[in-house]
Amino acid sequence: MTVYLELGQDVHVAGGDLNEAVQEGVRRGYAEGYLRKSVVRDPLRRVNTGDNTPAAINVRIVPGEGLKITVAPKGAGSENMCRVKMLTPASGEAGVREFVLDAVLSAGGNPCPPTVVGVGIGGSFDTVGALAKAALLRPLGEAHPDGYYARMETELLESINASGVGPQGLGGRTTALAVHINAAPTHIAMLPAAVCISCHAIRHAEVTL
Protein backbone atom coordinates (compact mmCIF):
# COMPACT_ATOMS: atom_id res chain seq x y z
CA MET A 1 0.00 0.00 0.00
CA THR A 2 1.33 3.42 -0.99
CA VAL A 3 -0.21 6.59 0.42
CA TYR A 4 0.57 9.88 -1.31
CA LEU A 5 0.25 13.07 0.70
CA GLU A 6 0.25 16.49 -0.95
CA LEU A 7 0.72 18.64 2.11
CA GLY A 8 0.03 22.37 1.81
CA GLN A 9 2.89 24.42 3.18
CA ASP A 10 0.46 26.47 5.27
CA VAL A 11 -1.08 23.41 6.92
CA HIS A 12 -0.37 22.65 10.55
CA VAL A 13 -1.45 19.20 11.68
CA ALA A 14 -2.62 19.38 15.28
CA GLY A 15 -3.73 16.79 17.79
CA GLY A 16 -1.47 13.93 16.86
CA ASP A 17 1.13 12.40 14.59
CA LEU A 18 0.35 12.56 10.85
CA ASN A 19 2.29 9.39 10.09
CA GLU A 20 0.48 7.41 12.76
CA ALA A 21 -2.89 8.81 11.62
CA VAL A 22 -2.23 7.49 8.13
CA GLN A 23 -1.15 4.09 9.46
CA GLU A 24 -4.26 3.89 11.63
CA GLY A 25 -6.43 4.71 8.61
CA VAL A 26 -4.83 1.88 6.67
CA ARG A 27 -5.21 -0.43 9.65
CA ARG A 28 -8.93 0.29 9.98
CA GLY A 29 -9.55 0.21 6.25
CA TYR A 30 -8.14 -3.26 5.83
CA ALA A 31 -10.02 -4.58 8.86
CA GLU A 32 -13.39 -3.02 7.97
CA GLY A 33 -13.03 -3.93 4.30
CA TYR A 34 -12.10 -7.56 5.05
CA LEU A 35 -9.04 -7.21 2.85
CA ARG A 36 -6.16 -9.66 2.77
CA LYS A 37 -3.36 -9.01 5.25
CA SER A 38 -0.28 -9.04 3.04
CA VAL A 39 2.53 -7.25 4.89
CA VAL A 40 5.36 -8.94 6.77
CA ARG A 41 7.34 -6.95 9.33
CA ASP A 42 10.74 -8.22 8.24
CA PRO A 43 11.61 -9.19 4.64
CA LEU A 44 13.50 -12.35 5.66
CA ARG A 45 11.80 -13.56 8.85
CA ARG A 46 8.34 -13.11 7.23
CA VAL A 47 6.13 -12.52 10.28
CA ASN A 48 2.84 -10.96 9.19
CA THR A 49 1.93 -7.65 10.85
CA GLY A 50 -1.72 -8.72 10.80
CA ASP A 51 -3.15 -5.37 9.71
CA ASN A 52 -1.33 -4.46 6.48
CA THR A 53 0.74 -1.74 8.09
CA PRO A 54 3.09 -0.07 7.73
CA ALA A 55 2.03 1.60 4.50
CA ALA A 56 4.64 3.41 2.41
CA ILE A 57 4.04 7.15 2.70
CA ASN A 58 5.15 9.57 0.00
CA VAL A 59 4.96 13.24 1.06
CA ARG A 60 5.17 16.22 -1.29
CA ILE A 61 5.05 19.79 0.00
CA VAL A 62 2.83 22.00 -2.15
CA PRO A 63 1.53 25.58 -1.88
CA GLY A 64 -1.74 26.19 -0.09
CA GLU A 65 -3.80 25.20 2.92
CA GLY A 66 -5.02 21.75 1.89
CA LEU A 67 -4.02 18.15 2.39
CA LYS A 68 -4.66 15.76 -0.50
CA ILE A 69 -4.50 12.06 0.35
CA THR A 70 -4.26 9.42 -2.37
CA VAL A 71 -4.38 5.76 -1.39
CA ALA A 72 -3.02 3.25 -3.92
CA PRO A 73 -3.11 -0.46 -3.04
CA LYS A 74 -1.14 -2.58 -5.50
CA GLY A 75 -0.70 -6.32 -5.82
CA ALA A 76 2.69 -7.99 -5.52
CA GLY A 77 2.18 -10.05 -8.66
CA SER A 78 2.54 -6.96 -10.80
CA GLU A 79 4.97 -5.27 -8.40
CA ASN A 80 7.40 -8.17 -8.82
CA MET A 81 7.54 -7.38 -12.53
CA CYS A 82 8.80 -3.81 -11.98
CA ARG A 83 12.31 -2.91 -13.08
CA VAL A 84 14.93 -0.16 -12.60
CA LYS A 85 17.91 0.35 -14.87
CA MET A 86 20.70 2.91 -14.73
CA LEU A 87 21.21 3.69 -18.40
CA THR A 88 23.96 5.92 -19.74
CA PRO A 89 23.06 9.21 -21.43
CA ALA A 90 24.28 7.73 -24.73
CA SER A 91 21.43 5.21 -24.54
CA GLY A 92 19.00 8.04 -25.25
CA GLU A 93 15.35 7.58 -26.12
CA ALA A 94 16.05 4.37 -28.01
CA GLY A 95 17.63 2.80 -24.92
CA VAL A 96 14.68 3.77 -22.74
CA ARG A 97 12.22 2.33 -25.27
CA GLU A 98 14.17 -0.93 -25.47
CA PHE A 99 14.25 -1.21 -21.68
CA VAL A 100 10.50 -0.57 -21.33
CA LEU A 101 9.56 -3.07 -24.01
CA ASP A 102 11.91 -5.72 -22.62
CA ALA A 103 10.50 -5.27 -19.10
CA VAL A 104 6.87 -5.52 -20.21
CA LEU A 105 7.30 -8.34 -22.70
CA SER A 106 9.51 -10.45 -20.43
CA ALA A 107 6.83 -10.10 -17.74
CA GLY A 108 4.41 -11.82 -20.10
CA GLY A 109 1.23 -12.92 -18.35
CA ASN A 110 2.67 -12.71 -14.82
CA PRO A 111 1.24 -9.25 -13.97
CA CYS A 112 -2.25 -10.30 -15.15
CA PRO A 113 -2.56 -8.18 -18.29
CA PRO A 114 -4.08 -6.07 -19.64
CA THR A 115 -1.79 -3.82 -17.62
CA VAL A 116 -1.13 -0.15 -17.11
CA VAL A 117 2.56 0.65 -17.51
CA GLY A 118 4.14 3.47 -15.52
CA VAL A 119 7.51 4.68 -16.77
CA GLY A 120 9.91 6.89 -14.84
CA ILE A 121 12.77 8.65 -16.62
CA GLY A 122 15.38 10.79 -14.88
CA GLY A 123 15.85 11.70 -11.26
CA SER A 124 18.18 9.28 -9.48
CA PHE A 125 18.29 5.65 -8.42
CA ASP A 126 16.16 6.31 -5.35
CA THR A 127 13.54 8.50 -7.09
CA VAL A 128 13.02 7.02 -10.55
CA GLY A 129 10.94 4.12 -9.23
CA ALA A 130 8.68 6.56 -7.41
CA LEU A 131 8.26 8.49 -10.66
CA ALA A 132 7.14 5.32 -12.44
CA LYS A 133 4.70 4.31 -9.71
CA ALA A 134 3.17 7.78 -9.47
CA ALA A 135 2.58 7.70 -13.23
CA LEU A 136 0.00 4.97 -12.60
CA LEU A 137 -2.21 7.51 -10.83
CA ARG A 138 -2.90 9.45 -14.02
CA PRO A 139 -6.40 8.81 -15.37
CA LEU A 140 -6.54 6.39 -18.30
CA GLY A 141 -6.76 8.23 -21.60
CA GLU A 142 -5.07 11.36 -20.28
CA ALA A 143 -1.96 12.01 -22.36
CA HIS A 144 1.25 13.53 -21.03
CA PRO A 145 1.04 17.34 -21.25
CA ASP A 146 4.37 17.45 -23.11
CA GLY A 147 3.81 16.41 -26.72
CA TYR A 148 7.21 14.70 -26.89
CA TYR A 149 6.32 12.29 -24.09
CA ALA A 150 2.70 11.97 -25.25
CA ARG A 151 3.98 10.65 -28.59
CA MET A 152 6.37 8.29 -26.82
CA GLU A 153 3.51 6.94 -24.67
CA THR A 154 1.37 6.27 -27.74
CA GLU A 155 4.16 4.55 -29.65
CA LEU A 156 5.19 2.39 -26.70
CA LEU A 157 1.58 1.31 -26.17
CA GLU A 158 1.29 0.37 -29.84
CA SER A 159 4.51 -1.67 -29.66
CA ILE A 160 3.42 -3.44 -26.47
CA ASN A 161 0.02 -4.35 -27.90
CA ALA A 162 1.58 -5.54 -31.15
CA SER A 163 3.50 -8.17 -29.13
CA GLY A 164 0.48 -10.46 -28.93
CA VAL A 165 0.91 -11.28 -25.22
CA GLY A 166 -2.74 -10.38 -24.68
CA PRO A 167 -5.07 -10.64 -21.68
CA GLN A 168 -3.70 -12.97 -19.00
CA GLY A 169 -0.87 -13.81 -21.41
CA LEU A 170 -3.20 -15.96 -23.52
CA GLY A 171 -2.69 -13.97 -26.72
CA GLY A 172 -4.52 -11.04 -28.21
CA ARG A 173 -4.30 -7.38 -29.16
CA THR A 174 -4.59 -5.80 -25.71
CA THR A 175 -1.57 -6.39 -23.52
CA ALA A 176 -1.66 -2.91 -21.98
CA LEU A 177 -4.40 -0.33 -21.53
CA ALA A 178 -2.05 2.64 -21.27
CA VAL A 179 1.56 3.74 -20.92
CA HIS A 180 2.13 6.75 -18.67
CA ILE A 181 5.51 8.48 -18.45
CA ASN A 182 6.85 10.74 -15.71
CA ALA A 183 10.16 12.51 -16.37
CA ALA A 184 12.36 14.53 -14.03
CA PRO A 185 15.67 16.41 -14.18
CA THR A 186 18.73 14.22 -13.72
CA HIS A 187 22.52 14.41 -13.44
CA ILE A 188 24.42 14.99 -16.66
CA ALA A 189 26.15 11.60 -16.32
CA MET A 190 22.99 9.54 -15.75
CA LEU A 191 19.83 8.31 -17.45
CA PRO A 192 17.84 6.34 -14.85
CA ALA A 193 14.73 4.54 -16.06
CA ALA A 194 12.08 2.52 -14.26
CA VAL A 195 9.05 0.50 -15.26
CA CYS A 196 6.21 0.00 -12.78
CA ILE A 197 3.52 -2.36 -14.02
CA SER A 198 0.00 -2.54 -12.61
CA CYS A 199 -2.50 -5.27 -13.32
CA HIS A 200 -5.86 -4.30 -14.81
CA ALA A 201 -7.23 -3.74 -11.28
CA ILE A 202 -5.55 -0.34 -10.95
CA ARG A 203 -7.16 0.91 -7.77
CA HIS A 204 -6.72 4.23 -6.04
CA ALA A 205 -8.86 6.78 -4.24
CA GLU A 206 -8.21 10.35 -3.18
CA VAL A 207 -9.64 12.98 -0.91
CA THR A 208 -8.68 16.61 -0.24
CA LEU A 209 -9.09 17.99 3.27
Question: Is 208 part of any domain?
Answer: no
Task: Indicate if 84 and 173 belong to the same structural domain.
Answer: yes
Identify the domain boundary among 46, 73, 100. 73
pTM score > 0.75 for this model?
Answer: yes
Mean local confidence (pLDDT), 54-61 = 96
Question: Is 197 part of any domain?
Answer: yes
Task: Indicate if 83 and 56 belong to the same structural domain.
Answer: no
Identify the domain boundary among 73, 107, 134. 73
pLDDT score recorded for residue 17: 95
Mean local confidence (pLDDT), 188-192 = 98
Q: pLDDT tens across 61-98, in order?
A: 999 999 999 999 998 999 999 999 999 999 999 999 99
Percentage of the chain exceeding pLDDT 70: 100
Task: Indicate if 105 and 170 belong to the same structural domain.
Answer: yes
Provide the domain count of the chain: 2
Task: Indicate if 48 and 143 belong to the same structural domain.
Answer: no
Is pLDDT at 192 greater than 90 in this prediction?
Answer: yes
53: confidence class by pLDDT, cuts 50, 70, 90: very high
Percentage of the chain exceeding pLDDT 90: 95
Range of the structural domain that residue 189 is part of: 76-201
Task: Indicate if 20 and 91 belong to the same structural domain.
Answer: no
Task: Indicate if 66 and 93 belong to the same structural domain.
Answer: no
pLDDT score recorded for residue 75: 87
pLDDT score recorded for residue 200: 87
Mean pLDDT for all residues in the chain = 96
Task: Indicate if 127 and 188 belong to the same structural domain.
Answer: yes
Task: Indicate if 34 and 102 belong to the same structural domain.
Answer: no
Helices then strands (H, E): number in the chain?
A: 5, 8
Inter-axis angle of helices 147-161 and 92-107, nearest 10 = 40
Identify the domain boundary among 73, 89, 107. 73
Q: pLDDT tens across 122-165, in order?
A: 999 999 999 999 999 999 989 999 999 999 999 999 999 999 99
Do 168 and 112 touch, CB atoms closer than 8 A? yes
Mean local confidence (pLDDT), 5-28 = 95
Mean local confidence (pLDDT), 110-121 = 97
Task: Indicate if 135 and 197 belong to the same structural domain.
Answer: yes
